[in-house]
């Protein structure tokens, strides 16, 4: 299979207690760079003006330079780091709907690893949870992924209106508890046991990777985030099977802070404001998901389902979503795809009606050489604008991309 959005259990790990002499460091590095050119036709009641933003020809690039130096001691214990630097000046791969567009490049994931063949792997630092990394979903061969917020590169408002929403189920089945993406956490993965890998993660608080170098008051933030994931990959005759499941939860903030305008000189003037600290009525957030894929000769079929319960008593802001797709790996350099992602957010207001996201994609990818692929794809997406029932954006995008991996 040329390329698939599949998290596998290929994690070989371990640990030993006795000290040993260090060997030479292996200064590995690599990365990827994807360059897209696409024509978009965008409309909907959420778009104003005769020429909507993003309509017509547009360009999009996304890439990372990934440094993975490591050293293996005489006793077989390997120490290493993984530092991922964004390789485009948007500072993000999310495109025109991203809150970070226009920022300089920055470090994304950054964590240390300890591993060997008999114990497993221990990750410490800013990284996704074990549940996220062991999840699987519908297979894809082109680099414009629909089981993700990537389509916002060409169609606006495909996010949920908040940065945390990009890692929740209405956008992708690769979810995090309350969207706590890339936070400082510790994760342990078991060795691969006949295709089975289990991972467990713990994050003290749900601060982002970039703002986690200082202590916070856990009474006012999501804290004690726990995740578990299970992934199994195996072969039965001519059929390859991948199965995954995950669950996670965290402790909701005990208190919330509200700033009240004290008068004409408050908040928007120079007067005093009243700060009210009250008990947070929300319950603890949770996320869970399942996924599977099956490969029969040259055809792979797969899908996933996930939910985010964000703890609001009325259910406002809860999310769910599912993916379903098929890939045909033709003889020779071509592979073809057809898939969908369907997501839904429970409305925040009393107007009724939930907020939906629907995206359908067909595409093909051709291998041109080692680490070089050419994609062509067509996708249609329709999405309600978050918190605004009855306001939507829809678009059709015809695109092509060159993908470099090294």
Q: pLDDT tens, 368-403?
A: 999 999 999 999 999 886 555 557 889 999 999 999
**Is the sign of the CA dihedral 147, 153, 157, 163 positive or negative?**
positive
Ranked by mean pLDDT, the top range of 85-89, 265-269, 294-298 is 294-298
Give the pLDDT confidence of 128-146 residue by residue, as tens digits: 999 999 999 999 999 999 9
Give the pLDDT confidence of 41-71 residue by residue, as tens digits: 998 776 654 455 557 999 999 999 999 999 9
Q: How far apart are CA 387 and CA 384, in angstroms?
A: 9
- Residue 165 has which token pair? 């929403």
- Residue 381 has which token pair? 């997406």
The pLDDT value recorded for residue 277 is 80
What CATH class is the domain 35-61+130-249+282-405? mainly beta
Decide if pLDDT at 362 tops 60.
yes
Give the pLDDT confidence of 306-323 residue by residue, as tens digits: 999 999 888 888 999 999
Which of 204-208, 230-234, 249-253 has the weakest average pLDDT?
Answer: 204-208
Decide if pLDDT at 346 tops 70.
yes
Q: Are 190 and 120 in contact (CB under 8 A)?
A: yes
Domain boundaries, the chain: 35-61+130-249+282-405
The pLDDT value recorded for residue 3 is 47
User: Average pLDDT, whole number, for the chain?
Assistant: 83
User: What pLDDT band is residue 174 in, cutting at 50, 70 and 90?
Assistant: very high
Pairwise pLDDT comparison (192 vs 281), residue with the higher score: 192
Q: How far apart are CA 400 and CA 376, in angstroms?
A: 4
The pLDDT value recorded for residue 79 is 97
Q: What is the pTM of this model?
A: 0.84
Ranked by mean pLDDT, the top range of 177-186, 232-241, 276-285 is 232-241
Residue linked to tokens 């709907």: 97
User: What pLDDT band is residue 22 in, cutting at 50, 70 and 90?
Assistant: very low
DSSP annotation of 136: B
Q: How far apart are CA 347 and CA 137, in angstroms?
A: 26
């Amino acid at each position: 299979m040329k390329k698939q959005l599949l998290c596998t259990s290929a994690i070989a790990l371990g640990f030993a207690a006795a000290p040993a002499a260090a060997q030479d460091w292996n200064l590995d590095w690599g990365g990827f760079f994807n360059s897209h050119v696409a024509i978009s036709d965008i409309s909907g009641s959420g778009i104003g003006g005769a020429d909507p933003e993003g309509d017509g020809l547009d360009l999009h690039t996304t890439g990372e330079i990934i440094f993975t130096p490591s050293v293996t001691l005489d006793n077989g214990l390997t120490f290493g780091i993984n530092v991922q630097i964004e390789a485009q000046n948007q500072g993000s791969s999310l495109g025109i709907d991203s809150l970070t567009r226009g920022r300089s490049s920055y470090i994304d994931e950054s964590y240390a690893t300890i591993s060997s063949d008999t114990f497993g792997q221990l990750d410490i630092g800013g990284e996704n949870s074990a549940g996220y990394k062991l999840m699987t979903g519908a297979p894809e061969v082109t680099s414009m992924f629909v089981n993700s917020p990537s389509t916002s590169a060409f169609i606006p408002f495909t996010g949920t209106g908040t940065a945390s929403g990009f890692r929740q189920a209405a956008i992708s089945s690769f979810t995090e508890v309350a969207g706590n993406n890339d936070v400082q956490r510790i994760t342990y993965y078991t060795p691969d046991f006949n295709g089975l890998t289990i991972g467990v993660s713990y994050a003290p608080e749900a601060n982002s990777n970039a703002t986690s170098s200082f202590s916070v008051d856990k009474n006012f933030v999501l804290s004690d985030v726990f995740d578990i994931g299970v992934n199994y990959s195996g072969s039965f005759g001519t059929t390859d099977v991948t199965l995954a499941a995950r669950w996670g939860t965290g402790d909701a903030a005990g208190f919330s802070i509200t700033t009240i305008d004290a008068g004409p000189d408050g908040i928007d003037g120079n007067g005093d404001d009243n700060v009210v600290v009250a008990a947070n009525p929300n319950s603890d957030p949770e996320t869970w998901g399942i996924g599977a894929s099956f490969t029969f000769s040259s055809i792979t079929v797969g899908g996933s389902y996930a939910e985010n319960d964000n703890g609001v008593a009325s259910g406002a802001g809860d999310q769910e979503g599912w993916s379903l797709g098929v890939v045909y790996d033709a003889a020779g350099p071509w592979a073809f795809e057809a898939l969908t992602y369907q997501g839904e957010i429970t409305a925040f207001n009393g107007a009724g009606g939930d907020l939906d996201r629907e995206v359908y994609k067909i595409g093909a990818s051709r291998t041109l050489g080692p680490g070089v692929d050419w994609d062509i794809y067509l996708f249609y997406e329709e999405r309600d604008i978050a918190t605004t029932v009855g306001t939507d954006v829809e678009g059709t995008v015809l695109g092509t991309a060159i993908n470099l991996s090294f």
